Amino acid sequence: MSTNWETAEALKAPMEICWQFDYEIGIEKLRNLYSKSKQRQWDAEVDIDWSQPVDPSKPIIDEGQFMFDRLSVIKKLSPSKREEFTAHMSCHLLSQFLHGEQGAMMTAAALTHAVPDYEGKLYAATQTMDEARHVEVYERYINKLAVIYPISPWLKSLIDVTLQADHWVKIAIGMNMVVEGLALGAFHNMRRATTCELLRSITNNVLQDEARHVAFGNVYVGETIKEMDDDEREDIAGFAFEAVKLMSDSQGGARGDGQRAPDPGFLQMLATVGIEPKDFIASLMEAGASGLRAKMPPGQIHSFKDLMMPALVRVGAITDRTREMYAEAEIPVWEDASQLEALEDSETGVADLDRAEAY
């Protein structure tokens, strides 16, 4: 047996882990989530029809919904080059999902260790298995399409900060609300937009699981924060702000209309398809100057507005003190949880969100 230490990356975590010898179920909602998780297990190998073809020359995510399509640097590419760009661009995005899923698998395992309640441990163990499946399906899909690109630095730092947090509530906030909030919005939008049946079926299955993961954050974190004293609550709220700020900076602000942070993996992707990064950046600046913005088509979910911020407000992870910090950072504290609730109540993680069509 050989262990792949050369490519492994180690982190030290200060988390307190605990046993629980009281096997009484105290939190009924968590028991229900655990039951649902057991019933809804699926096998990535058997339940997905991997024989469906993936045509790398076809856009994997509907071209029309790509803001990049409107950039002059892309418009002047030949049709075949443009398709190649779309495929690699999709792989870059899907690689972020893949790495994010690995992070989610590790944070779920960390929750299994750290949560104090028996039913919390049972639930977190099922989430760990869910995330393992998600890693498996995205790895397999990306390798059918093209190549795996490196993790974006902001995503790596956000997940590292989460993995190295000293309290399980911070892990649940960093992963189940912030990272999964973004992922859930992106999965939902991708499922609607994709022209690839295989990708759609993968995403359908993943979404079913993710809806439970977000619900867990709400049920368990909310109860725990309620019982905290002010200092503890402020510590948690401060962490939530840092996590949201990290993500917001990387996305060009919470509204998504500012400058995004540079991403070496994205530059590598451009080089692979033969686009000069400086031409690409110039084209982006030109588009920005002419008022071209990534506009969301109707029916799309806005991760910050519809999922992440309402989830944080609902569990009490935003205090008067941090509200001022959000205001200063120009991150609106959106509170309308109706989209989030529709998703948590749905059996599929999908159907009810489609009511957002008129939104």
The contact set with Fe ion (CB under 5 A) reads: 101, 104, 131, 134, 210, 213
Among 43, 346, 319, 349, residue whose Cα is nearest residue 180: 349
Q: How far is the CB of 101 from Fe ion (least distance, A)?
A: 5
Nearer to Fe ion, 210 or 344 (CB): 210
b (16+ CB within 10 A) / e for 210-222 = bbbbbbbbbbbbe
Q: How far is the CB of 116 from Fe ion (least distance, A)?
A: 21
Six token digits for residue 152: 């974006």
Q: How far is the CB of 337 from Fe ion (least distance, A)?
A: 19
Q: How far is the CB of 15 from Fe ion (least distance, A)?
A: 19
**SS3 annotation, 159-226:** HHHHHCCCCHHHHHHHHHHHHHHHHHHHHHHHHHHECCHHHHHHHHHHHHHHHHHHHHHHHHHHHHHH
Nearer to Fe ion, 131 or 263 (CB): 131
Nearer to Fe ion, 104 or 186 (CB): 104
Rounded to a whole number of angstroms, the CA Rg of the chain reads 20
Nearer to Fe ion, 179 or 331 (CB): 179
Amino acid at 286: E
Q: How far is the CB of 202 from Fe ion (least distance, A)?
A: 11
Residue pair 177/217 in contact by the 8 Å Cβ criterion: yes
Report, in this order, helix, strand and coil percent for the chain, each rounded to 5. 65, 0, 35
Q: How far is the CB of 179 from Fe ion (least distance, A)?
A: 8
Nearer to Fe ion, 270 or 350 (CB): 350
Q: How far is the CB of 294 from Fe ion (least distance, A)?
A: 24
Q: Alpha-carbon distance 76 to 327, whole Å?
A: 41
Q: Alpha-carbon distance 260 to 152, whole Å?
A: 12
Nearer to Fe ion, 119 or 130 (CB): 130
Cα–Cα distance list, 277 to 48, 79, 196, 285 (Å): 37, 20, 28, 12
Nearer to Fe ion, 215 or 287 (CB): 215
Residue pair 317/237 in contact by the 8 Å Cβ criterion: yes
Nearer to Fe ion, 84 or 101 (CB): 101
Q: How far is the CB of 32 from Fe ion (least distance, A)?
A: 18
